[in-house]
Amino acid sequence: MSKNSHGPEGSDDGTVAGARLRVEKARERLGDSVGELAAKADVKGRTQEKAAEVRDQVVEAGQQVRDQVKEHTPERVRDAGVKAAVTGKEVATKAAGTGRAHPRPLLLAGGVAVVALAVARARRRARKS
């Protein structure tokens, strides 16, 4: 075998030590290649990383839009929006309480809706045949 120089470790001759050094270097290169191929083959992982990046971009853009809207919306309009939200919540809470206190009208309306859907479905089937 001829004497070759392989990198900063020194000479790599035909001895057993030289062969071990060559084998170790080949293993390192092979390990690096396998690692690179595994990273390329991990489609699910790459997709999840990309989804996380896009999600972060969307969140950031949403925050910027929210800040711009807040900055350009007059205070009286913001106050009206808050008042409307509070009023809507109060109405919904009151309606839910009324439904619990007097369930018969709600049950009757639900029954009528079910019957109407059944009749409409029967008519459609009759037309198709």
Between helices 103-128 and 75-101, what is the axis angle to 10°? 90
Greatest CA separation found in the chain? 100
pLDDT value, residue 105: 81
Q: Is the pLDDT of residue 19 over 80?
A: yes
61 vs 30, higher pLDDT: 61
| Whole-angstrom distance, CA of residue 48 vs CA of residue 45 | 5
Q: Is the pLDDT of residue 74 over 80?
A: yes
Structure tokens at 71: 């900055």
Q: Is the pLDDT of residue 7 over 60?
A: no
- How confident is the prediction for the chain on average, in pLDDT? 82
Q: Which residues are bridge partners to 83 per DSSP?
A: none
Contact 78, 70 (CB under 8 A): yes
pLDDT value, residue 58: 93
Residues 93-104: what's their mean pLDDT?
Answer: 80
Q: Is the pLDDT of residue 61 over 90?
A: yes
pLDDT value, residue 116: 93
C-alpha distances in angstroms, 106 versus 90, 98, 116?
19, 10, 15
Structure tokens at 91: 């109405």
Contact 5, 12 (CB under 8 A): yes
Number of Cβ within 10 Å of residue 12's Cβ equals 19
